[in-house]
């Protein structure tokens, strides 16, 4: 009914001869609203502004549909202004498509607008798993900002290139880019940019295995974000700290960080952030022994990630859910979850996360007594890690090392070495096929509810790596 009324109104407007003027006024009004929203999206009023933009989304769509054909520079401006809203409210694919179209149609927008639009499009492409395109868009933004001698923009582009490098399995390059970004951020004099980069540098340091240094940076950043009254960036720093606390064996601190982060994300209505915090909290609860509650949280995170059209992140969370499900005694469902996750991650080209799934199956095989399969899959996972430059994350490393030690004892050194070499020689597709087949082998008998051993802080600080979180 409403659509029929809308169509009738548009027909009447066209017949009146005033459609052009009305559309210009409409587009100008909603561009002004988007401009006004920018300051509100940076602080405690962010949630209210996101709600308002959501309520007017159809009007923004109408303005963009008209301006992209008639006023491309205006469409580019409006698209870049909506980038944060699209990312935070689950419209990543729509936002990415609209930004790419506006960039392609642009016929003379200010360079600053083009840089910001490229940067926002890169962020959305990254969220969708389009890593190559994201890198190209960030490089475009960086080139423009450098030509404008805009140190703040330069810092932002370098920061996101660093995050992307960590995500793609190159933590050394990520740390280098983040340190370069931090230098530019300090030169810009913008404290918020400085703190944003410091949070992301902490993530890259942790991805490289330097958990103590990462925790030190995050301690400082948490204090700064609280002083700045910035709930969004505080929630990101809390998420990062939660993951590092978990890997250092401090489950209580990890749960507290994730719970505070989740509450902030709920207040902001920030859908991707809620999914991330739910997944982190579920993982922390699982490691602290609250397996049932942990599984519930991770399952909710997966549902939200699918709704956000983020299959890569959903598949990674599914690996965590498989562990929680296994710990509560449902081995067969855990295997099915792992098989599905590995197939999805391999299809999407995320070999580092695929390796996590293969390692999980190798551990299950060792616990089931199939030392040969466990060792072959351990070798296959090692090859995937070498191809991506990513070490085994904590606490996966502890379980994996125990499983491989048990397999070596069962096989003997020579047979272990032969099986490991055979696994390393598998192609990624062959490794995934073998791991999927092994994962779904039915369990002979139900196993009791178990828990995950906690590491000491010294053990955690000495080894391992993690996936980064972007601020």
What tens digit of pLDDT does each residue of 100-119 get? 999 998 667 899 999 999 99
pLDDT of residue 469: 55
Average predicted confidence (pLDDT) for the chain:
88
**pLDDT range class, residue 44, cuts 50, 70, 90:** low
Lowest mean pLDDT among 82-91, 215-224, 434-443: 82-91
From residue 382, alpha-carbon distances to 114, 243, 282 in Å are 42, 23, 27
Give the pLDDT confidence score for residue 42 in this predicted structure.
72
Q: Where is average pLDDT lowest: 50-54, 141-145, 320-324, 423-427? A: 50-54
Mean pLDDT of 45-53: 85
What is the phi-psi region of residue 229: left when phi exceeds 0, alpha when psi lies from -120 to 50, beta otherwise? Answer: left
Rounded distance, CA 231 to CA 228, Å?
9
Distance CA 248, CA 243 (A): 9
Q: Whole-angstrom Cα distance, residue 83 to residue 92?
A: 9
pLDDT digits (tens, 9 = 90+) for 281-295: 999 999 999 999 999
Half-sphere exposure of 156 (CA within 13 A, CB side): 24
DSSP string, 111-162: HHHHHHHHHHHHHHHHHTT-HHHHHHHHHHHHHHHHHTT-HHHHHHHHHHHH
CB proximity list for 152: less than 8 A, separation 6 or greater: 184, 185, 188, 190, 193
DSSP state for residue 448 in the 8-state scheme: -
pTM given for the model: 0.72
| For range 253-278, the mean pLDDT | 92
User: Model confidence at 442, in pLDDT bands (50, 70, 90)?
Assistant: confident
pLDDT greater than 90 at residue 386: no
Is the pLDDT at 143 greater than 90? The verdict is: yes
- Which of 126-140, 165-179, 182-196, 203-217: highest mean pLDDT? 182-196
User: Of all residues in the chain, what percent carry a pLDDT higher than 70?
Assistant: 88
pLDDT at res. 173: 93
Tell me which of 372 and 470 has the higher pLDDT: 372
Query: What domains, with CATH codes, occur in the chain?
Result: 64-149 (1.25.40.10), 159-247 (1.25.40.10), 330-447 (no CATH)
> What is the per-residue pLDDT across 1-38, written as a single tens digit (0 to 9) for each?
445 545 545 555 555 556 778 999 999 999 999 999 99
Residue range 180-189: mean pLDDT, rounded: 97
Place of tokens 């990312």: 87
Higher pLDDT: 151 or 396? It is 151
Q: Kindly indicate the confidence band of residue 458, based on its pLDDT and cuts at 50, 70 and 90.
A: very low
pLDDT tens for each residue of 390-409: 777 766 788 899 999 999 99
Average pLDDT over residues 175-185: 97
Residue % of the chain over a pLDDT of 90 = 64
Rounded to an integer, what distance in angstroms lies between the CA atom of residue 286 and that of residue 325?
A: 10
Higher pLDDT, 3 or 176: 176
């Amino acid at each position: 009914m409403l659509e029929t009324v809308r169509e009738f109104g548009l027909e009447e407007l066209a017949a009146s001869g005033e459609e052009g003027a009305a559309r210009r006024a409409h587009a100008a009004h909603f561009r002004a609203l988007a401009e006004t929203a920018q300051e509100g999206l940076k602080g405690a009023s962010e949630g209210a502004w996101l709600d308002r933009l959501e309520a007017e989304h159809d009007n923004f769509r109408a303005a963009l549909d008209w301006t992209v054909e008639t006023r491309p520079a205006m469409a580019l401006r409006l698209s870049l202004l909506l980038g944060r809203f699209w990312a935070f409210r689950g419209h990543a694919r729509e936002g990415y498509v609209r930004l790419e179209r506006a960039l392609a149609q642009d016929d003379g927008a200010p360079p600053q607008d083009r840089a910001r639009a490229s940067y926002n499009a890169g962020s959305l492409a990254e969220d969708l798993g389009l890593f190559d395109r994201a890198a190209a868009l960030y490089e475009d933004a960086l080139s423009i900002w450098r030509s404008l001698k805009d140190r703040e923009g330069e810092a932002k582009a370098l920061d996101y290139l660093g995050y992307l490098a960590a995500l793609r399995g190159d933590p050394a390059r990520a740390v280098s880019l983040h340190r370069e970004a931090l230098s530019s951020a300090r030169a810009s004099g913008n404290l918020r940019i400085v703190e944003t980069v410091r949070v992301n540098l902490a993530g890259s340091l942790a991805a490289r295995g330097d958990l103590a240094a990462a925790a030190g940076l995050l301690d400082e950043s948490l204090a700064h974000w609280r002083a700045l009254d910035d709930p969004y960036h505080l929630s990101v720093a809390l998420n990062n700290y939660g993951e590092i606390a978990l890997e250092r064996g401090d489950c209580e601190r990890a749960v507290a960080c994730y719970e505070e982060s989740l509450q902030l994300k709920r207040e902001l209505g920030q859908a991707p952030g809620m999914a991330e915090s739910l997944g982190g909290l579920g993982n922390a609860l699982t490691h602290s022994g609250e397996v049932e509650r942990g599984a519930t949280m991770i399952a909710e995170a997966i549902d939200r990630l699918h709704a956000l059209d983020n299959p890569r992140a959903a598949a990674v969370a599914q690996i965590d859910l498989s562990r929680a499900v296994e710990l509560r005694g449902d081995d067969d469902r855990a295997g099915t979850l792992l098989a599905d996750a590995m197939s999805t991650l391999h299809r999407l080209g995320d070999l580092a996360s695929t390796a996590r799934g293969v390692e999980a199956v190798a551990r299950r095989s060792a616990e089931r007594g199939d030392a040969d399969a466990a060792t072959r899959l351990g070798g296959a996972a090692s090859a995937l890690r070498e191809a991506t430059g990513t070490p085994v994350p904590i606490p996966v490393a502890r379980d994996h090392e125990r499983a491989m030690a048990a397999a070596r004892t069962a096989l003997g050194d020579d047979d272990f070495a032969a099986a490991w070499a055979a696994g390393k020689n598998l192609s990624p597709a062959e490794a995934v096929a073998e791991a999927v087949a092994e994962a779904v082998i039915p369990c002979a008998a139900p196993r009791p509810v178990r828990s995950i051993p906690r590491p000491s802080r010294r053990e955690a600080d000495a080894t391992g790596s993690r996936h980064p979180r972007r601020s």
